[in-house]
Amino acid sequence: MSKQMSHLDNIPSTPGKFKMDKSPYIHNRLRWHSSLVKLTFWSFIFLGLILIFFFRSPSSNPLPQDPSRRSLRTYNWGGPSWEKRVRSSARVRSRNGISVLVTGAAGFVGTHVSAALKRRGDGVLGLDNFNDYYDPSLKRARQALLERTGVFIVEGDINDSTLLRKLFEVVAFTHVMHLAAQAGVRYAMENPGSYVHSNIAGFVSLLEVCKSANPQPSIVWASSSSVYGLNTKVPFSERDRTDQPASLYAATKKAGEEIAHTYNHIYGLSLTGLRFFTVYGPWGRPDMAYFFFTRDILKGKSIPIFEAANHGTVARDFTYIDDIVKGCLGALDTAEKSTGSGGKKKGPAQLRVYNLGNTSPVPVSDLVSILERLLKVNAKRNIMKLPRNGDVQFTHANISLAQRELGYKPTTDLQTGLKKFVRWYLSYYSGGKKAAG
């Protein structure tokens, strides 16, 4: 299964700058008529320009792939027309609407949440660095989708505090929906730095800017069910221990929850963490099992199905994207104001954590059976031992707290949700669009 991200390694490195050879002809004046010299000289210049153009064309100039280089990438932002787009996107269009900065807006959940907020008249500004953890063309397609609904996504990194401060200068956001992160459990062994960059340093940089903003926004952010780690007591409840993470990803999300506590305590920031349980649906993430199972079943490739020791079932509490979106909106709508100002706390502020799951874990083998029926193709199953590299055996959410306090009530079962996913998948990847991954 770790093979599925290996295409990331195949991206060629950035080509070096094209250097033109010094022409010996220019020095040989005596043997050449001067007009011929000029002609040759200009031919070389012309050839050189063509080659430079060729080497710098986008297809041979890939996005940087390691996080340190990624953070050195400069983005184009600023200027009057850019500010105008930022303001217009963030403008509230309904009475009692809120203005929300959505980080990770070109991501799976970010796109759906941004669209839902915009639909009900809230102001929405997106922020995303469009990194290449998975096919960036899918992020671009989501961006195009949001663009049509009037949501602008600023291209930049959450660890860039100069950019963040600028955004808060231009718009007095009432809320931040923080979804930007390095996701994925197994990829942490390949690129641990990217988790530290986005989930730790990036989160702190965002909180630093939020605490200094005037007024301070209320923040809702994505934690993860993975914080329950190796726990065996089910269902997972918010009060359970979360001190035995099974992956670096889980550890950075757990760290995020502790960092949130600190910023709430010191600066009076209102903070709500949402522990998502395996979110799936249209426009989903190609690195997740339901997505690449669909791709590989259609290709006739065998798919790895993990089982735990003693043929134990591996199961997930799959949660449909529309249900997650309702949970996110519920959290934003019930978030109290931050209490600090000018970086100083004035009084205690709200600090919350909620499970957003579906309360019905489904064995991964059942997921495959549903996909087989929907795709009308038999899967080639390759039963394998669950490797000890981050995945836990099962997840199961107790959602009674979110139900009570956010009005959260998931309504989509896996069969119904996957039907919608498959319909989207087939239409998105047909008609000349290149295959996923």
Ligand X SMILES: *[C@@H]1O[C@H](CO)[C@@H](O)[C@H](O)[C@H]1NC(C)=O
| 66 or 243: CB nearest ligand X | 66
The beta strand positions in 147-200, using DSSP E, are 152-155, 175-178
357 binds ligand X (CB under 6 A): no
Least distance in angstroms from the C-beta of 164 to ligand NAD = 10
109 binds ligand NAD (CB under 6 A): yes
Per CB under 6 A, does 159 bind ligand X? yes
Structure tokens given for 363: 């064995």
Strand intervals (E) in 277-342: 279-280, 302-307, 315-316, 319-320
The CA–CA distances, whole Å, from 64 to 12, 177, 185, 253, 391 equal 10, 27, 21, 25, 28
Q: Tell whether residue 224 is a contact of ligand NAD (CB under 6 A).
A: yes
Instruction: List the single partner that 285 binds among ligand X, ligand NAD, none, CB under 5 to 8 Å by kind.
Output: ligand NAD
Of 8-16, 55-63, 393-401, 411-419: span binding ligand X (CB under 6 A): 393-401
Asked if 249 is an active-site residue, the reply is yes
166 binds ligand X (CB under 6 A): no
Q: Which of residues 197 and 352 has its CB atom nearest to ligand X in the complex?
A: 197
Name the residue with tokens 């990036």. Answer: 202
- Does residue 222 bind ligand NAD (CB under 6 A)? yes
Task: Work out how close the CB of 134 gets to ligand NAD at its nearest, in angstroms, rounded to a whole number.
Answer: 7
Does 398 bind ligand X (CB under 6 A)? Our answer is yes
Any contact of residue 104 with ligand NAD (CB under 6 A)?
Answer: yes
Draw the binding track, 212-251, toward ligand X (x: CB under 6 A; -: no contact).
Answer: -----------------------x-x--------------
DSSP per position, 343-358? TB--S---EEEEEE--
Tokens of 433: 């669009």
Q: Which of residues 64-103 bind ligand X (CB under 6 A)?
A: 71
Question: With contacts defined by CB under 6 A, how many residues of the chain interact with ligand NAD?
Answer: 27
* Minimum gap (Å) between residue 161 Cβ and ligand X: 5
Residue 18 to residue 241: CA distance in whole angstroms: 57
Q: Select the binding partner of residue 279 from ligand X, ligand NAD, none (C-beta < 5 to 8 A, by kind).
A: ligand NAD
Q: How far is the CB of 172 from ligand NAD (least distance, A)?
A: 21
Q: Does 202 bind ligand NAD (CB under 6 A)?
A: yes
What sign results for the dihedral spanned by CA atoms 207, 284, 436, 187? positive
| DSSP letter (8 states) at residue 233 | S
Residues 6+ apart with CB under 8 A from 425: 282, 291, 294, 436
Which segments within 287-413 are labelled E, that is strand?
302-307, 315-316, 319-320, 351-356, 362-363, 380-385
Cα separation of 351 and 285, whole Å? 29
- Residue 11 and residue 270: Cα distance in Å, rounded? 42
Select from ligand NAD, ligand X, none the partner in contact with residue 201, using the beta carbon and a kind-dependent cut-off of 5 to 8 Å. ligand X
Choices 44-52, 163-171, 177-185, 344-352 (CB under 6 A): range interacting with ligand NAD: 177-185
- Pick the binder of ligand X from 40, 65, 161, 360 (CB under 6 A): 161
Token pair 């989207």 is found at: 424
229 binds, among ligand NAD, ligand X, none (CB under 5 to 8 A by kind): none
Greatest Cα pair distance, the chain, in angstroms, is 92
| Listed ranges 76-84, 196-204, 206-214, 424-432: which one lies at the site for ligand X (CB under 6 A) | 196-204
Burial of 264 (0-12, 13-18, 19+ CB in 10 A): buried
Closest CA relative to residue 349, chosen from 219, 239, 205, 203: 219
Q: Does 179 bind ligand NAD (CB under 6 A)?
A: yes
Minimum CB separation of residue 388 from ligand NAD in Å reads 20
**Nearest residue (CB) to ligand X, 140 versus 409:** 409
Q: What is the tally of helices (H) and strands (E) in the chain?
A: 14, 13
CB 307 within 8 A of CB 384: yes
User: Active-site residue among 134, 228, 249, 280?
Assistant: 249
Instruction: Return residues touching ligand X (CB under 6 A).
Output: 71, 159, 161, 196-197, 201, 235, 237, 398, 400-401
Instruction: Return residues touching ligand NAD (CB under 6 A).
Output: 104, 106-110, 128-131, 139, 157-159, 179-183, 198, 202, 222, 224, 276, 278-279, 285
Give the catalytic positions in this structure.
249
